Structure 1
Amino acid sequence: MISNLKTNLEASLIPWVEDIALKNDSSGHALYIMKEGKTVLEHYGGYHSFKSGAQKVNPASRFNIASARKSYIGLLLAYALYDGLLNLDRPVHDYMKEKDPVFSGVSIRHLLTHTHGIGEGSKSLYTEFTPGENWSYNNVGVDTLAHLVMEIYGETISSFLQKRIFNQLNWAETSWMTEPSPTLVKIISSRYEKPLTGLHTDSDGTQKNLFVSAREFAWWGQLHLDRGRVRNRQIIPEEVVNLATTIQTPRGLQNDLPRNGAFWYVQDIPRIKSEIGDAVPAGSYQILGVTGPTILVIPKYQIVAVKMYNKRYNYGGANYLHFLKEYSNRVVDACT
């Protein structure tokens, strides 16, 4: 059965991933898929950049995962909910030292599910719509909650996750990077421009400098699929994972809009503006970043599917949702 699955996945996904890499002009890519906690497909292609002599992408290569980092911050927020330090439906103002009027009427739930209605201007934030009545993807929610949760716990996001999770599992390919390393894949804006390093001077977990190998990215998904349990050890309380990966979106949102857990996109029914394909069964969840990294978790089939790219604005243009849905649909088709 596993051999058939591997054959199906190889035939469906490897050519697709490589074709998208060409279309997007990504210098490197990776694919890593697990079934019931075991690796069934591992594929690497391309180079760390377009520079002559650049290193080939390999199992140790670490990609900048961009907004997929929200799943790591989201787990910490789920801890805060579990520990009773945050309440989903309490106003954000209850937790703020300085109460910015733009957050009036905004709850923790709104920030966690992109339903807060706050837009980002060039110099300030502004109200875009009434909280809970629409959905708009931006970084206001994650940025606000990231700083809030660090104040609550009195430590950085990165140190919290390092102590409670990464060290427990001996992960050495997941961290917020401040210094260059041969294992880091560059970020491509254009093959004709100097690549970006993705590094930042801060390593507290609030910035977009989280680099992860394809395999540890997949294990991150597997940790969620297994509800925080690794072999005979409960690394994360099961309820923490449940809070992160089940729908927390306010009720009554338009049917075509996505549903979210703690930043994860969660499938209930197919939705027009969701990034998850219509063939993906309910209870599945996904997270992705602007440079192309994606984790798709399908509990029904015990599947974790990871793809990695290093090109900003993958699937650019009006049809980007089509390509995102196509990826997850192909995974499902190979499993059925």
Structure 2
Amino acid sequence: MYERLISWVEDIKTRNHSSGAALFIIKDNQTVLEHYSGAQSNSPDANPVSSSTRFNIASARKSYLGLAAAYAVYEGNIGSLDDLAVDYFPQYDRKLLGGTTIRHLITHSHGLHETEGGIPFREFPPGEDWAYRGINILMMTELMERLYGKSFPQLLKERVFDPLGFSETAWEIKPCENLAEVIMNPAERAISKLGKTANGMESNLFVSAKELALWGNLHLNMGKADGKQIVPREVIELAATIQSPSYKNKDLPQNGFFWFVQGEPAAQSELGERVPRGSYQILGVTGPTVLVIPEHNAVVVKMYNKRYNYGGSNYLHYLREFSNLAADCLKGEKVR
């Protein structure tokens, strides 16, 4: 049933010089596929990829920040998604932020950017376009720590990771034999990508394929796991449904709390046109993807350890191709 998806994952691994790969699928709350191949690094003595291998998930960590932000809205620490950002970020120039709202910050529609020297500037008016930048992530990360008096990783550890028994999800600062290294250049030795801090701002979140899939499955089940309500249903609904402003350009992606969410298929979305409405996905530059498809009651996770997978301007094609193929495979299983 999943042979085409496995072949696709392996083909991309080879073409893009990732040393290892994993594919994990949960359907109807049961693991239906585990696939591991290659090694945790491109060094000759690297450990093989296995079920205990933890990959650096890079920007896929935004889904974790998104859940923390959804908690903040649900619990009233953020009054409304349409609250002005100037009310929460007094350190920023009021004129620069202007009409920017929390909604704009979590849906990549804020229009803010930074120079190489870290000076903020505006690219476009808030809510009128879409651009994937880092400044909004820094802002929301800082805001969560200020609102809760602790980093959002610590908040999630207490409220989600520990109740779920997660032991393979953490921001790492020390080497561990199960951590896959990141290949920056196929001609060079992979690097560890261990961060200096664990406040969520460092891209050092390492997760096993299984626990990334369980993270997606927690969302799929509206915060429930093993019959227990771990996260309030309303928090998940906030995080994983479309929160983007109404764009004039219908080709722009739509987002929940950083998740890419399928509404009407959009040409610039990372979700392919055959992915059912209401599905959502998030990914990282090192190759990890978690795709949640409620229509098929399924979660699909793929993992790589190569930065800038696919490469070039055609990367969006491969992202959409993966989600389309995953949806096709699950649709085929549903019919049988």
TM-score using structure 1 length = 0.96
C-alpha deviations, 1:135-157, integer Å up to 9, x for none?
00011111111101110111111
1:100 counterpart = 2:77:
no
1:88 counterpart = 2:50:
no
| Secondary structure of the structure 2 residue equivalent to 1:168 | helix
C-alpha deviations, 1:82-103, integer Å up to 9, x for none?
0111121111110124133432
Q: What's 1:55 paired with?
A: 47
TM-score using structure 2 length = 0.96
Residue 34 (structure 1) aligned to one of 13, 20, 26: 26
Pairing 1:100-179 to 2, within 5 Å after superposition: 100-101=93-94, 102-123=96-117, 124-179=119-174
Amino acid at match of 2:103: R
Q: What's 1:4 paired with?
A: none
1:260 counterpart = 2:260:
no
Q: What's 1:69 paired with?
A: 61
Q: Give me the identity figure in percent.
A: 48
Residue 45 (structure 1) aligned to one of 33, 37, 40: 37
**Conservation of the 8 A alpha-carbon contact between 1:276 and 1:325:** yes
- Partners of 2:201 and 2:320 in 1: CA distance: 28
Amino acid at match of 2:81: L
**Conservation of the 8 A alpha-carbon contact between 2:173 and 2:195:** yes
Runs of 4+ in 1 over 6 A off after TM superposition: none
Amino acid at match of 2:113: G
Q: 1:77: how far off? A: 0.1
Amino acid at match of 1:47: A
Q: What's 1:308 paired with?
A: 303
- Partners of 2:59 and 2:5 in 1: CA distance: 23
Residue 208 (structure 1) aligned to one of 203, 217, 238: 203
**Conservation of the 8 A alpha-carbon contact between 2:129 and 2:247:** no
CA-based RMSD of the aligned residues comes to: 0.9
List alignment gaps of at least 5 residues for structure 2: 332-336
**Conservation of the 8 A alpha-carbon contact between 1:157 and 1:206:** no
Amino acid at match of 1:45: S
- Partners of 1:118 and 1:204 in 2: CA distance: 22
Residue 315 (structure 2) aligned to one of 303, 320, 333: 320
Amino acid at match of 1:194: R
1:333 counterpart = 2:307:
no
Q: 1:238: how far off? A: 0.1
Q: 1:206: how far off? A: 2.2
Q: 1:253: how far off? A: 4.0
**Conservation of the 8 A alpha-carbon contact between 1:132 and 1:253:** no
Change (3 A) 1:253 1:74: farther
Amino acid at match of 1:57: V
- Partners of 1:191 and 1:316 in 2: CA distance: 13
